[in-house]
Amino acid sequence: MARYTCSFVLAVSINHLHGSLIELLQNCGLDVQYYTPDYIMAREFPGNIAFSKLVTVEGLIDKTTATESETRMTLVIKNEELPLQLDNHCRQVFDYIKEEIEHSRYWSLIESLASSS
């Protein structure tokens, strides 16, 4: 299973982040399937790639440390594909979403940290 994680500290209130993140994921071509005030799950639409390569994105918003001007968020981007190649489909989607978050007009990026497993 390919799995990539990135954490962000964003200059945005938690109330504004939630709706903006949903819109950003939809603009990235993902179907937001489930959300709560501190969790969002989105998936790629089936049809263009093999089922095992369909990417799931989980967004976890840290309500415990959020302030009026700063919010921490972690994204987990994964699929069932074995990451046999460095530039696999999941990694490509991860890089694209990470770049969209880092350059979003909805907030200012304070800090970003990424890892893969």
Q: What is the pLDDT of residues 45-87, one digit of tens each?
A: 998 888 889 999 999 999 888 888 899 999 999 999 877 777 8
User: Contact at 8 Å (CB) between 10 and 108?
Assistant: yes
Indicate the number of domains in the chain.
Answer: 1
pLDDT at 117: 59
* Reported pTM: 0.89
pLDDT at 116: 63
Q: How far is CA 69 from CA 17, 49, 58, 59, 108, in A?
A: 10, 39, 23, 19, 10
**Domain enclosing residue 86, as ranges:** 2-116
Q: Assign residue 49 the CATH number of its domain.
A: 3.30.310.180
